[in-house]
Chain A
Amino acid sequence: MTTPGDGRADPRAAPDPGVADDQRAAAALLAVDPAGLGGAVLRGGPGPERDGWLALMRAHLPDGTPWRRMPVSVPDSRLLGGLDLAATLAAGRPVAERGVLAEADGGVLVLAMAERAAPGMAARIAGVMDAGAVALERDGIARRLPARFGLVALDEGVEEERVAAPLADRCAFHLAPMPLPAAPSLPDIAAARARLNDVRVPEEVLRALAGASLALGIDSLRAPLLALRAAIAAAALAGRDEVAAEDAARAARLVLAPRATRMPEAEQPPAEDPPPPEQAEAGEAPKGETTDAPLEDRILDAARAVLPEGILAGLGAGMRDAARRGAADGRAGLRQATPLRGRPAGTRQGALRSGARLALVETLRAAAPWQPLRRKGRTGGPKLFVKREDIRLRRFEAPQETVAIFVVDASGSAAMHRLAEAKGAVELLLADCYVRRDRVALIGFRGRAAEVLLPPTASLVRAKRSLAGLPGGGGTPLAAGLDAAREMAIACRRAGRTPLIVLLTDGRANVARDGTGGRPQAEKDALESAQPLRLAAVPALLVDTAPRPQPFAKDVAAAMGARYLPLPMADAQRLSGAVRDAAA
């Protein structure tokens, strides 16, 4: 797996002339061989730096080269192509329309807000990039349209949000654009393109790129391949007919470095930040560390006894109540699920009124058999007779996908004995999610802040991995954890999914929202952060992991409108009884 990351130097840092030179070179290299290099991921918000790089890239391209900008939400009909509505109706016969991918053939496709591309969208683009052509199989049209282009993915993601891995993997360059000094003159792209196929590659360059990618911990074989293409393009640009060491070095800096997952011969990861001094609960937090495997097994068993089966399903029922409550409050809640989005589920007959989406092909199909009959006895008139009973509308299944957001308290107070149990509990709930095919996300909070450990994913494997890697120790910034959960819940709703928050905490909030210590302010902030969750009607469960149930945790649960479930410390037998009572 590649982790596009380290190449994103902070753009505000003093511009390193070497980096600026590399970024300038990247634009030229991509112009020389757009399809061969795949493209570039530009990380960072909109601004003069990004515009500057794009303008530079564009200036390199020969006149008439296609340059298509595409929003991330284009439907398949525009992305891949399909039936052209206007032309079909005018001609009375099916007329195909090319999609954006085919239009970009020979040029550059700029994907805006690329970090928002859904997996299906990313896979479609990636498939077309691999084949160099769009295999169009839509709306009764079967066609193969050439589509060899360079992709420029504009990645405005913050923190964990990233361009989908299949796209990032296929783009040679990963840059964080920085201010570039004015160029003396543009290189001769046409000459470089002509030379491209004749550039020889010495054996030691192959060896060096393959070895370097391995030493940097890059698994994907595309990385050294793209690096090789970049080195060849660099040599062609410099007018050489053999790849020189400096070409290979530039390729390694531009292609391999941003993908590195480890430092070659690096020793230790940096030590954890020490907890903020005032709220380090000295007695309770002895170097919060994760547990070893056998203990985790035991904990898992204990937790298994505690958590009633199908607890998430129960929450789902509560969620519907919450939705109703939301509606009563005058909020849209879940009811806004219109039949206009979600998964297409075939078509139906119906009247065409505003808001409905016409299924054009199906409508034409329904109208087609009647044409000779309707045309009979008429001369002139329209080429195509479509009557109301022919109209077919698209049907969508309302999105049913749930995202279970696990918010785990990893503070020192929770860490000593409870964190492992909380992890066990989360693992059990994860199994539940697996059965229900829900997505899961993971937020941890400790020290001064909350951190999104895992954005919503369908991969249980990844969830387990990031859970296992969650360290403990530090204060309890409960307010920050709640805020992070709310943000993610809202983002999930925006994406058409139903969020569900599972908060595991001992309720001993002692770090306020601004990161300072002090219990009273921390508790006030936590309650304040809990309120919006209730108002937003986000279904939630609070699992109290404290040895003895905490009144404050109960208050937080009430404030956020969550179900409250204590996970007391005792033997499994007694526990399960107590919990069964509490859950009943």
Chain B
Amino acid sequence: MDGLPGERRAAAEQGVSAPPAKARAAKPAAPAARAPYPFAAIVGQEEMLRALLIAAVDPSVGGVLVLGDRGTGKSTAVRALAALLPPMKAVEGCRFGCDPGDAAALCADCRARGRLRAIETPVPVVDLPLGATEDRVAGALDIERALAEGVKAFEPGLLARAHRGFLYIDEVNLLEDHLVDLLLDVAASGENLVEREGISIRHPARFVLVGSGNPEEGELRPQLLDRFGLCVEVRTPGDVPTRIEVIRRRDAYERDHAAFCAAWEKEQARLRRSILAARAHLSQVSVPDAALERAATLCLALGTDGLRGELTLIRTARALAALEGRDTVGDAELRAVANPALRHRLRRNPLDETSSSTRVERAVAELFGP
């Protein structure tokens, strides 16, 4: 099946060899080929953008799943997030990027360190490409060092790199099952346990899981669906002016990435400041009992399983209030986030034509009035 003997030989002769392991930091291996499309320049798709911003303000919301048609800019938006996020503080020299301010969540290395020096570093947005192997996802024995030096060293994988940031899986519904199993466990526990080749290591791996996909190409496993706090649906815009604007901006970006990004930097900076302001404001947003009651009634009416729906609904509404500079969670916030927080938690009847979104909308209209 391998075929192409001639080309294979050619590739072997060119021999792209691996860089020395020591030089490899816990941060992204190589810079992106070009600057990603600016987040602020994305046209329309308010629900998706808002969900991503909410996840940036409060990671405890629990991840974002973006479902939608082809060519709607799903992955563009997620990849744009990396350039938007304000930098974070991390322990200098830590390969997991531990938070120096959170003593309880330090990795074993950092706990052994005496004084922790903090450095500023970009928030990781790590791509988990289809076709990645398990050893690169979870981390494994560093073969090179083992072969050359006889040292048993752990080489961190993508999960370690995504710690405190975002892990993005495009076409998440096509991800191999054994990788899904791995993710489910880590996403639930916030910790990656590696037990292989005589290596036994655990390290913190808390990340916001972001997935995107087209439901027509396959269903998502229910357990994985459940791991996403928010689920947004994107559609192609149907009006000509919006479509023209999308094409115009995309064309400008394709012609000159650097100039386009520079032109949008002011707007990007404004968004970045609003994320920081919302984070600072988050703890001051109060959730009155009336809002809690509303949320509970809504979830009851929709028959969502367990308490996670309510919890996510409240957290998301609070993050939205913080983002919009309000001090209390009210009906407006609950209404705005009910669909992304709940639509994937409804028990599905595969024969029912009504989409989950419509069911949530109906329940919301019943409860809150039209």
Contacts and interface: CB of A to CB of B under 8 A. Distances in A.
Contact of B143 (A36, A78, A345, A364): A364
Given A127-B170, A223-B71, A96 B127 contact: no
B15 A137 contact: no
Nearest to B128: A137
A166 interface: yes
Given A78-B8, A207-B244, A431-B350, A364 B29 contact: no
B146 A368 contact: yes
Contact of B215 (A143, A209, A223, A461): A461
Contact of A71 (B3, B198, B255): B3
A142 B29 contact: yes
A366 B130 CA distance: 25
A368 B140 CA distance: 12
Interface in A196-214: 197, 201, 206-207, 209-211, 213-214
A220 B69 contact: yes
Contacts of A100: 4, 7
Contacts of A295: none
A388 interface: no
B132 interface: yes
A98 B11 contact: yes
B12 A459 contact: no
Contacts of B152: 369
Contacts of B171: 123, 126-127
A149 B35 CA distance: 19
B47 interface: no
Of residues B71, B127, B135, which shows the largest number of chain A Cβ atoms within 10 Å of its Cβ?
B71
B23 interface: no
Contacts of B158: 137
Nearest to B355: A461
Of residues B4, B24, B131, B244, which shows the largest number of chain A Cβ atoms within 10 Å of its Cβ?
B131
A165 B174 CA distance: 14
A140 interface: yes
Q: How many residues of B sit at the interface, in one of the four size bands? A: 35 or more
Interface string B177-196: 11000000000000000001
Contact of A368 (B147, B243, B244, B247): B147
B197 A103 contact: no
Contacts of B170: 123, 127, 130
A574 interface: no
Q: How many residues of A sit at the interface, in one of the four size bands? A: 35 or more
B332 to A, nearest CB: 31
A555 interface: no
B217 A459 contact: yes
Contacts of A36: 254
B24 A142 contact: yes
Contact of B15 (A75, A95, A103): A95
A186 to B, nearest CB: 26
Of residues A126, A131, A142, A361, which shows the largest number of chain B Cβ atoms within 10 Å of its Cβ?
A142
B351 A431 contact: yes
A225 B351 contact: no
B137 interface: yes
A427 B140 CA distance: 47
Interface string B236-271: 111010011011101100111000000000000000
A127 B130 contact: yes
A206 B248 contact: yes
Contacts of B87: none
B146 A462 contact: no
A123 B10 CA distance: 26
B144 A93 contact: yes
Contacts of A131: 33
A113 to B, nearest CB: 12
A206 B247 contact: yes
Given A71-B3, A74-B2, A458-B218, A225 B70 contact: no
Of residues A96, A123, A223, A462, which shows the largest number of chain B Cβ atoms within 10 Å of its Cβ?
A123
A474 to B, nearest CB: 28
Contact of A462 (B29, B30, B177, B216): B216
Given A120-B174, A130-B75, A458 B247 contact: no
Contacts of B247: 206, 209-210, 221, 224-225, 228
A406 to B, nearest CB: 15
A351 interface: no
Interface stretch (A49-57, A79-87, A175-183, A481-489): A79-87
Given A137-B132, A210-B247, A368 B143 contact: yes
B219 interface: yes
A240 interface: no
B133 A78 contact: no
A526 interface: no
B174 A138 contact: no
Contacts of B243: 210, 213-214, 221, 224
A95 B350 contact: no
A138 B219 contact: no
Given A140-B143, A221-B246, A223-B71, A94 B18 contact: yes
B129 interface: yes
B22 interface: no
B141 A365 contact: yes
B248 A94 contact: no
Given A124-B130, A143-B30, A222-B71, A206 B244 contact: yes
Contacts of A94: 17-18, 143-144, 147
Interface of B: 1-4, 7-8, 10-12, 14-18, 24, 29-30, 32-34, 69-73, 75, 127-137, 140-144, 146-148, 150, 152, 155, 157-158, 170-171, 174, 176-178, 196-198, 214-219, 236-238, 240, 243-244, 246-248, 250-251, 254-256, 350-351
Top 4 nearest A-B pairs by Cβ distance? A368-B146, A220-B71, A372-B150, A222-B71
Given A166-B70, A361-B133, 16 more contacts: A2-B70, A93-B148, A120-B130, A124-B130, A126-B171, A137-B131, A143-B16, A144-B32, A220-B71, A221-B236, A221-B247, A365-B197, A368-B141, A428-B351, A459-B215, A464-B351
8 contacts: A74-B1, A74-B2, A79-B131, A96-B18, A120-B130, A123-B217, A222-B70, A460-B219
